[in-house]
Structure formats: C-alpha cells, structure tokens
C-alpha cells in the first residue's frame, strides 16, 4: 500500500500465496483447504497436560535469555541420542518459532548487499527474510528430473565475492524432496572451498520416509559452518505454540541473543515447557503421528498419479507436501490453482509462490484426513481441464 505513513520499501504489495490462502479458503462454503501445512491433529495430551501443570507451578515468567536451561539440555541430549552429535549448551538458542529463527540467523550474519543462495523451490518467506536483513536473495533452482537434488555445478556458478550463505531445506517444503548424503557431501566441499556458511532449515526431520534423516551439521567439518533451525511445530504438531531453536557456533548464538532481546526478549515460557516434554516423550508421541502422515502422503500420491495431466514423484520422500506437476495442462500454476478452486472447490498453492522453478506445479499439504483427501481428488477428476 502506498501511503505517506508507510515505509516506501513496503509500498509494493509483497503478500504471498500463503498469506492470501485464508481469504481464498472463504471463496466457497465447501472448500477443501490443502494450502497450508497446519496439521489437523492437535498437540498430544502428554505435552499439553505437562505444560499446563508447569504453568500452574509458576512457569509463567521470562526464561533465561537463551531459553529455559532444561530445554537447552534436552536439545543437546536429543542431538547426541539421535545423531551422535555433540552440541554444547552455549551453542543452543530457543526462539519463538523457526520462522523467527531464520530472520535472527540472517540478521546475525548478513551485511548489507551480501548474497544468500536459496535452494529452490523454497519456503515462501525466505527471499523477504533475506531482504529484511538487507541481503540479496539468489535462487538456486532444482528440478524434478534431477529428483530435486542440488546440482553443485549450478550452485558453484551462482557464487560471487558477495556470497555469504546457502540456505538448504531437507525434507523440503514444498517439494517433499530429501537431499542425499552424497549431495550434502558435495555441498560441504563447495562450502569449504568458498568459505561459506550454511543455514539448514531442519523443520521436517521426523518426516523422512525413505532414509533416516541426516543433519548437514553432522558431516565432517560442517558443524562450525552450519546454523541449524529446528521447530516443534511440525515434528510435534505444535504450530500454535510458536517455539523452535537454533544451533550454531557460540559466537553466532551470542549475536542472535542480542538481536532477539530487541525483538521478543524470550520465547514463551509455557511453550518452552511443552517443548521439554515433546522431546522427553518423543518415542511415545511421534511414531503414530508420523505413520498417519506417511499414509496420507502415499495415498494422495497414488491418487494424483491416476489423474490425467497430473503427476507427482512416487514414492514420496519426506515432509507432508506433494509438489504436483501440472505442465501437461498448458496452464500456469496460478491458472491451474484458480481453476481447481473454482471448478472443484479445492484450494492448493501455485508452485511459482516457491520460486521461479516452481512454475508448472501445485503444492498440496496432506494435513487432512484420508477421507477429505479422497474427496478432493474425486472432485478434481471430474474437471475437463484434467481429462
């Protein structure tokens, strides 16, 4: 909006497809909303009950500036137990969501005009988050015919004297792709060669279906060159609690702490208590939840591949998103998303919302029950555009 009281950098509309999805979902009274990755499951009772008990016991105040010490220790223990990674307390920062964590990380490392390479298709907020930190986002395209792996030659061709960091996301939102260990090892060599740092957006670590998740930071020599972003939102269906954490070299964590004190001061204390119990009881909480989403992903991928002029990689690799190829329709991703909304009352996100290389795709969030997903597919099958 152009107005004298609005900063000029925001005069140009920068709203995203995700931001507009709530409005679009109200277009019809029977819309099936597959646009956002907000799970239909609620947080497990173990987490809720213990967090609220702690609230009654007095955990309603500011926590330590880097986060509840008990939670920081639980995060260190988790990395040791799951990945045999040694993480020190001073390398951990608890933040009010990994989305905020990304901004804090970028603000801590990016100088004005620094370039940040983004694995694309990317999580929609990345470019603006880089720009908020006064950096320049650079899209690194990945392609379906390459299994959405990062091509290291393409990566190297984008590196300039102003390149500061590379953002990777695996399992990926929106493609569902998982970077192979071989790909990550090649990236690590590039990172060392050009003296770069990696921001690893490790949001969907529990949703790696084909192979166990391997943190980029666990590769030899990469822990000191990696900023890890974690969230409890998806791994524990805790989207509304707004709690995540950052793992990075201690000097970066100290800088992030200084920045955060001027933004939100500390993450919510009750949410941090909830996160403690999420990690403590993860073996009781996660298996059934992950299996439910795995079933939905495989079911939806099979059904999508039965629709003419639609296709998706099978079997799904990770996350709970499908990136559906609609190029045979001849429509753009925006045209296809609009046609499906109007013709089938099913809301998806156009692929170009996730970068230029997302054109020709739609993103589906498999965060609804199988019965709902099946109804969505059945509606689309009736559309002439997909016959």
CATH number of the CATH domain containing 155: 3.40.640.10
Q: CA 70, CA 51: separation in Å to the nearest integer?
A: 13
Question: What does the block give as tokens for 119?
Answer: 């694995």
Strand bridging mode 361-365 / 349-350? antiparallel
**Is 151 found in the same domain as 130?**
yes
Nearest Cα residue to 121 out of 370, 350, 383: 350
Which residue is it, tokens 């009352």?
Answer: 345
Give the residues of the chain that fall short of pLDDT 50. 18-19, 21
Query: What is residue 7's predicted lDDT score, i.e. its pLDDT?
Result: 86
Across the chain, which distance is largest between two alpha carbons, in Å?
60
Query: What is residue 21's predicted lDDT score, i.e. its pLDDT?
Result: 46
**Is 145 found in the same domain as 233?**
yes
Domain end among 281, 314, 340: 281
- Rounded to the nearest 5 percent, the helix, strand and coil shares of the chain are 45, 15, 40
Query: What is residue 5's predicted lDDT score, i.e. its pLDDT?
Result: 85
Q: CA 131, CA 167: separation in Å to the nearest integer?
A: 14
Within-domain flag for 89: yes
- Total length of the chain: 387
Within-domain flag for 3: no
How many CB atoms are located within 10 Å of the residue 248 CB? 28
**Is 264 found in the same domain as 298?**
no
Nearest Cα residue to 221 out of 187, 256, 252, 180: 187
Within-domain flag for 56: no
**Looking at residue 350, which CATH number applies to its domain?**
3.90.1150.10
Cβ neighbours of residue 26 under 8 Å, at least 6 residues apart? Answer: none
Query: What is residue 11's predicted lDDT score, i.e. its pLDDT?
Result: 83
Within-domain flag for 50: no
**Is 126 found in the same domain as 176?**
yes
Within-domain flag for 49: no
Domain end among 239, 265, 281: 281
Domains held by the chain: number: 2
Domain end among 281, 312, 346: 281
Within-domain flag for 54: no
- With beta carbons less than 8 A apart as the criterion, state whether 307 and 380 touch: yes
Instruction: Tell me how far CA of residue 303 lies from CA of 145, 297, 322, 334, 360, in angstroms.
Output: 21, 10, 12, 22, 19
**Is 167 found in the same domain as 144?**
yes
**Is 96 found in the same domain as 223?**
yes
**Is 348 found in the same domain as 212?**
no
Query: What is residue 299's predicted lDDT score, i.e. its pLDDT?
Result: 97
Query: What is residue 371's predicted lDDT score, i.e. its pLDDT?
Result: 97
Within-domain flag for 379: yes
Question: Which domain covers residue 333, as residue numbers?
Answer: 8-43+284-386
**Is 271 found in the same domain as 153?**
yes
State whether the Cα torsion 324-325-330-332 is positive or negative.
positive
Query: What is residue 387's predicted lDDT score, i.e. its pLDDT?
Result: 78
Q: Is 25 exposed, middle or buried (0-12, 13-18, 19+ CB in 10 A)?
A: middle
- Predicted TM-score (pTM) of the model is 0.94
**Is 320 found in the same domain as 179?**
no
Mapped onto helix, strand or coil, the DSSP state of residue 199 is strand
Q: CA 143, CA 357: separation in Å to the nearest integer?
A: 7
């Amino acid at each position: 909006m152009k107005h004298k009281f609005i900063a000029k950098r925001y005069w140009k509309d920068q709203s995203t497809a995700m931001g507009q999805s709530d409005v679009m979902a109200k277009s019809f009274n029977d819309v099936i909303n597959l646009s956002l990755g907000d799970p239909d499951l609620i947080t497990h009772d173990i987490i809720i009950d213990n967090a609220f008990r702690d609230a009654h016991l007095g955990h309603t105040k500011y926590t330590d500036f880097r986060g509840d010490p008990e939670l920081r220790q639980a995060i260190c223990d988790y990395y040791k137990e799951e990945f045999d990674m040694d993480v020190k307390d001073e390398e951990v920062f608890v933040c009010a969501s990994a989305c905020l964590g990304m901004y804090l990380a970028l603000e801590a490392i990016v100088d004005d005009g620094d370039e940040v390479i983004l694995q694309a298709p990317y999580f929609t907020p990345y470019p603006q988050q880089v720009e908020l930190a006064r950096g320049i986002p650079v899209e690194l395209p990945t392609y379906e015919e390459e299994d959405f792996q990062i091509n290291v030659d393409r990566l190297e061709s984008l590196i300039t004297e102003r390149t500061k960091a590379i953002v990777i996301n695996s399992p990926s939102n929106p493609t569902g792709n998982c970077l192979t260990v071989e790909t990550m090892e090649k990236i690590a060599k590039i990172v060392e060669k050009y003296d770069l740092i990696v921001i690893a957006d490790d949001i969907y670590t529990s949703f790696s279906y084909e192979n166990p998740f391997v943190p980029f930071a666990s590769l030899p020599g990469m822990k000191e060159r990696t900023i890890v972003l974690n969230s409890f939102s998806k791994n524990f269906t805790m989207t509304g609690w707004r709690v995540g954490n950052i793992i990075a070299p201690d000097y970066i964590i100290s800088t992030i702490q200084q920045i955060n004190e001027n933004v939100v001061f500390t993450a919510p204390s009750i949410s941090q208590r909830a996160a403690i119990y999420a990690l403590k009881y993860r073996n009781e909480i996660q298996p059934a939840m992950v299996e439910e989403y795995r079933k939905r992903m495989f079911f939806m991928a099979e059904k999508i591949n039965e629709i003419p002029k639609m296709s998706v990689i099978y079997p799904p690799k990770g996350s709970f998103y499908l990136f559906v190829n609609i190029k045979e329709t001849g429509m753009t991703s925006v045209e296809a998303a609009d046609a499906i909304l109007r013709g089938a009352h099913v809301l998806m996100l156009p692929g170009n919302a996730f970068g230029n290389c997302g054109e020709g795709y739609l993103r589906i969030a498999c965060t609804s029950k199988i019965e709902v997903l099946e109804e969505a597919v059945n509606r689309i099958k009736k559309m002439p555009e997909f016959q």
